[in-house]
Structure 1
Amino acid sequence: MTATIRRVARVMENACLLIGAVCLLYMVFVVGFNVLARIIFDATDTAVNLMIPGAIEQVSYLLGLIALAALSASMAKGMIAVDFLVGRLPELWQALVARLWFIGILAFALVLCWLFYEDMLATFARGEATQDLRLPMFIIHGLYAVECLALAVIALREALTNDGQHAELS
């Protein structure tokens, strides 16, 4: 069972890296393009408007996707830790503390997943859409829920397999 969780977690990590990279590249493009478009807009006394509609809205929702994807992907080789106290413990206790930490992250991720899932259902039922682009809100909440589920699976893997050693110490 642990081997299956490891494989699924590895796929989810890679998917989160891909999602995060694509969203980040698009976000940088939108912001950069709109900065240049704003310069042209101001230089032409508002005659030429090349700005991307709903850019602020796009970037704000992309930022949520990027943050959740980065959180999931950051656990690939353990999170950076300051071990003033834990580093002085025997290895068995270090592993126990690390596993308890990841159990906490697992619980947090599952709560977030449940809350975003509930929001997805509620926004679908109400037919809510974003303000500028009129994108269905349930899609955004659904993506957030899926990324929180990925975080939960990766945290579960770490809770089952972490030995208390940190990537920055290797």
Structure 2
Amino acid sequence: MQSTLERASHWLALLCKIVAGIALLALLGVTIADVSTRYLYRLTEGAIALRVIGSVELVSYLMLLSLLAAMAANVEKSQVVVEAFSHGLSPNLKNRLHGVYLLGFAALGLVLFIGLLDSATAAARHGEVTQDLRLPMGPIYYMAAVLSLLLGLRSLIHALLSAVFGAEGEVSHGE
């Protein structure tokens, strides 16, 4: 069971890293295009007036997706160890405490998922769109809800691995 959970976590992390990478590349592309077109406008004193419409909006939603995906991909590396409190504890007990800590992230992911799922259904039902580009908000909320669910799921997997099996917080993938 432990190796099955580790494999599932590995593949979910890989999926989240791909989503985060694509969102970050798109974010950088929009930012570079926006800055370049503004500079070109200034350089040509207004003769070339190309603009990236809705760049602020695009960057904000891409940032949301990249942050949620990155959080879900790296949840097992999230604990800040306070050496003053855990100095005398055995590694096994530290791992089990880490598992309890990750249960909080699992709860956070679930709460975010439920809230974003509710927002997605309401946005889809009412035809809510973004302010500048008039993109439907439903799919944006659904994607954020799925990433929040992955955050909660990976946190739960690592909480089980740490608390039940006493496994290390960071899963080894044979690398």
Asked if TM exceeds 0.5, the reply is yes
Distance (whole Å) between structure 1 residues aligned to residue 169 and residue 6 of structure 2: 18
Question: In structure 2, do the counterparts of structure 1 residues 15 and 82 end up closer, same or farther at CA, with 3 Å as the change threshold?
Answer: same
Deviation for aligned residue 1:152: 1.1
Residues 65-108 of structure 1: per-residue CA shift (max 9 Å, x gap): 011011011135x3352332124312332122101101111001
1:44 aligns with 44
Distance (whole Å) between structure 2 residues aligned to residue 98 and residue 82 of structure 1: 9
- After the TM superposition, which residues 91-170 of structure 1 pair with which residues of structure 2 at under 5 Å, given as runs? 91-162=91-162, 163=166, 165=168
2:173 aligns with none
Distance (whole Å) between structure 2 residues aligned to residue 93 and residue 146 of structure 1: 32
Bigger mean CA deviation after superposition, 1-10 or 24-33: 1-10
SS in 2 for 1:30: helix
Identity of aligned residues (%): 30
Q: Structure 1 residue 81 and structure 2 residue 80: aligned?
A: yes
1:14 aligns with 14
- 1:106–1:156 Cα contact (<8 Å) kept: yes
**RMSD of the TM alignment (CA)?**
1.9
Question: In structure 2, do the counterparts of structure 1 residues 3 and 165 end up closer, same or farther at CA, with 3 Å as the change threshold?
Answer: closer
Residues 14-34 of structure 1: per-residue CA shift (max 9 Å, x gap): 111001111111111111121
Structure 2: state its 5+ residue gaps. Answer: 171-175
Q: Structure 1 residue 69 and structure 2 residue 69: aligned?
A: yes
Distance (whole Å) between structure 1 residues aligned to residue 79 and residue 50 of structure 2: 42
Bigger mean CA deviation after superposition, 111-120 or 39-48: 39-48
| Aligned amino acid, residue 79 of structure 1 | S
- 2:161–2:167 Cα contact (<8 Å) kept: no
Distance (whole Å) between structure 1 residues aligned to residue 117 and residue 4 of structure 2: 25
Distance (whole Å) between structure 1 residues aligned to residue 86 and residue 93 of structure 2: 8
